A = this chain, B = another copy of it.
Amino acid sequence: MKHTHEHAVAVDPEVKDANLKRLRRIEGQIRGIHKMVEEDRYCPDIITQIASAQEALRAVGRQLLRNHLKHCATAAIKQGPQEADATYDELLELVYRHLR
């Protein structure tokens, strides 16, 4: 999986803001989980918090994937069949790794 981009072609500002807020909240969740582990809290309660952080990360991933489809992937697909093909493979690899 190779690419020459270091940056996104474009990012919708409201999506970016929402993702930054979500990530701040996830950072707080991780600190909360750290504290729970430190205090030997009941394992299922900690795992429930972990599941919630995972869900939140998944939501950020989904927004990024949507943005990627909308801006970067569309641009690549319009370039030609080879660029499109490389983009599909990158996309599928990404999706199956992120969502496994």
Assess the B74–A41 pair: CB atoms within 8 A: no
A62 proximity list for chain B (CB < 8 A):
92, 96
Indicate whether A43 sits within 8 Å of B84 (C-beta atoms), given known contacts A54-B57, A91-B69, A92-B65. Answer: no
Identical subunits present: 4
Assess the B50–A98 pair: CB atoms within 8 A: yes
**A residues lining the B interface (CB < 8 Å):** 1, 3, 5-8, 11, 16, 19-20, 23-24, 26-27, 30-31, 33-34, 37-44, 46-48, 50-51, 53-54, 57-58, 60-62, 64-70, 72, 74, 77-78, 84-85, 88-92, 94-100
Closest 5 CB pairs of A and B: A43-B68, A99-B99, A23-B34, A51-B98, A5-B42
